[in-house]
Structure 1
Amino acid sequence: MNMPQHIATTTPNQEGQRVSQLRAVFEKRERGTVLTSKYHTAPIKIAKAFPLDGPLGVIVMDVSPGLLAGDRYEFDWQIKPGAHAYVTNQSFTKVHPSSVLLGGSSIRQSFELGKESVLESMPEPVMLYRDAALDSETLVRLSEGAVWMGAEVLCPGRTLRGELFDYIHLKNKVRVYYEDELIYAQQQNIIPESQQLSAPGCLGKLTHTGVFYAFADRIQAKHAEAVRAALESLPSRGQREVQWGVSLTYKHGLAVMAAGTTAWHIQETLAAVWAVMRKELLGLSPFAIS
């Protein structure tokens, strides 16, 4: 099938940021979900799309070293009624040192889900280098019967090189709408220089954090109970402890927060949650992706 493809060069916006865009449209067909339209500007692109026995998976590639000062990435995902897409990326999202003059880096993601559609967003962790500054914004719009699941893992720097919360700031905003109603809003602002992140009651000795979200109009208390049971049954990793919490949101949602000392341990924890929610909400097993 020939789909509309558009490739353009990166151009600065009014604030002087270098804006890179990726837009994709998924639609349901008899043989499963297909990618019917895509557009991208360097350095981000869809490197590969692959069928997953009904759902369609896509891998996002960044051909640059990562987010440099002044970079802005914009992702727009449209999931048409009945379609099912899985989105990930090739490697860690690396956020390089910034400066006050260039205003840091930013990522904006928009997910538009039609009736009875599904989007699973499970990217690799975000790595915040020394002197990095990142503004991240996620907007989700759900129609009746739609399911959106997404995860994020944050690394405090290249710890083997001695970086630990040496970045300038991380601003993280999430908004979820069901039809026209705002059902979830979260705003995080981490400024390591002026906050006592290692204090008791904050992160303490923990360094890496992660969050998993699931939103659908059929989420109930039983789903939170199933997730807690799965997390309690995870094997012990000795001194590599992970602390986690599970809660239902105000409406149609579930959130899991986790904190530990390695990215892979947080990923393992959130993958267990993802597996439970795939089974509970979709009746599906975990993806077997190598």
Structure 2
Amino acid sequence: MLRASFRYTDGVTTLADKYHTSPIKIAKTFPLKGQLGVIIMDASPGLLEGDCYELEWKAGSSTHSFITTQSYMKVHPSLTVGSSINQTFHLADHAIVEHMPEPVMLYKEARFHNDTNVYLGQGAVWMQADILCPGRTLRKEMFQYTEFRNALTVYYGHELIYAQRQRIVPESQKLASPGSWDEMTHIATFCLFTDRLTPSHIQSMKQLVEELPSIYGAHQVVIGVSETQRYGLVAAAASTAAWPLQEVMRFIWNGARSILLHKEPVMLLYS
């Protein structure tokens, strides 16, 4: 369990309070280009069978925070119940949260369920970039995990504005088929939700994505950007390794900071 809240006082975002139980905790907070940086540490080897991490973030009015993790989220084999992370973000009016965790690594026979719920106030901004790896490729574990389930739900006030559900079962799904993942093995998603988003912002983000190269060394990257039904934009990308997607997510994230928030790039992500 981890709970934390942020407050804005005298032009500065600070950690108002926190609570955690082993093995997860806030390793450190630090000032970062006018916002508060937060690093989450997992003192365990990773998610083991039966583990359920509960994280709750409360961003007070006008706060600006950047949240990341110390290392890859490693999900170990699970023969029955699996493991899970349930994460909730409450953003008060004009709060900004940039959630940029390190990639998720699914080991052989892993079962993992990730559930994220976001509640936006007026003028609030929530961004997230996530990357999913198919296993430890050097150990020949490609797509040998049992199941991956991912859910994202976003509310603006009391209104549901976005709901995404994903379930991957490699053993029973033809992921390598044309029209599915084909030759791609790693996937990434960038989400941006705010009532500040205008058609001009969306067009600028789409133009930004068009500037991305399609080849990173020996690795091809495919990417698409879509406007959601209300107050949102989602970019989905795929490649054959994690590092090209890390570069892509960093580029899009910093582009969104510039286009929407008029903020300078942050180089901490994936460094």
The yes-or-no answer on 1:250 pairing with 2:229 is yes
Aligned residue for 1:266? 245
Aligned residue for 2:60? 80
Render the CA deviation track for 1:32-60: whole Å, top value 9, x for unaligned.
10001000000000001001142100000
Displacement, 1:234? 2.6
Aligned residue for 1:30? 10
Return the alpha-carbon distance in structure 2 between the equivalents of residues 238 and 70 of structure 1. 39
Displacement, 1:219? 1.1
Provide the secondary structure at the position in 2 that maps to 1:192: coil
Return the alpha-carbon distance in structure 2 between the equivalents of residues 242 and 81 of structure 1. 38
Render the CA deviation track for 1:173-212: whole Å, top value 9, x for unaligned.
1100000000000000111111000110000110000000
Provide the secondary structure at the position in 2 that maps to 1:275: helix
Root-mean-square deviation over aligned CA pairs: 1.1
Which deviates the most, 22-31 or 207-216? 22-31
Give unmatched runs, 5+ long, in structure 1: 1-20
1:281 pairs with one of 260, 267, 271: 260
- TM-score, length basis structure 2: 0.96
2:35 pairs with one of 55, 74, 92: 55
The yes-or-no answer on 1:91 pairing with 2:104 is no
Aligned residue for 1:69? 49
Return the alpha-carbon distance in structure 1 between the equivalents of residues 52 and 107 of structure 2. 17
Q: Map of 1:61-140 to 2, 5 A cutoff?
A: 61-100=41-80, 103-140=81-118
- Letter paired with 2:74: K
- Letter paired with 1:42: S
Aligned residue for 1:42? 22
- Letter paired with 1:233: E
- Letter paired with 2:223: W
The yes-or-no answer on 1:155 pairing with 2:127 is no
Provide the secondary structure at the position in 2 that maps to 1:229: helix
Which deviates the most, 38-47 or 227-236? 227-236
Render the CA deviation track for 1:116-159: whole Å, top value 9, x for unaligned.
00000000000000000001100000000000001110000000
Displacement, 1:238? 4.3
Render the CA deviation track for 1:60-98: whole Å, top value 9, x for unaligned.
000000000000001100000011110001100000000
Give unmatched runs, 5+ long, in structure 2: none
Return the alpha-carbon distance in structure 2 between the equivalents of residues 167 and 288 of structure 1. 32
Return the alpha-carbon distance in structure 1 between the equivalents of residues 11 and 203 of structure 2. 35
Return the alpha-carbon distance in structure 1 between the equivalents of residues 165 and 96 of structure 2. 25
Return the alpha-carbon distance in structure 2 between the equivalents of residues 42 and 238 of structure 1. 40
Aligned residue for 1:172? 150
The yes-or-no answer on 1:206 pairing with 2:199 is no
Equivalenced residues, count: 268
Return the alpha-carbon distance in structure 2 between the equivalents of residues 190 and 288 of structure 1. 32
Return the alpha-carbon distance in structure 1 between the equivalents of residues 143 and 9 of structure 2. 46
Aligned residue for 1:191? 169
- Letter paired with 1:258: A
Displacement, 1:111? 0.1
Which deviates the most, 170-179 or 23-32? 23-32
Return the alpha-carbon distance in structure 1 between the equivalents of residues 71 and 238 of structure 2. 21
Q: Is the 8 A contact 1:224 1:246 kept in 2?
A: no
- TM-score, length basis structure 1: 0.90
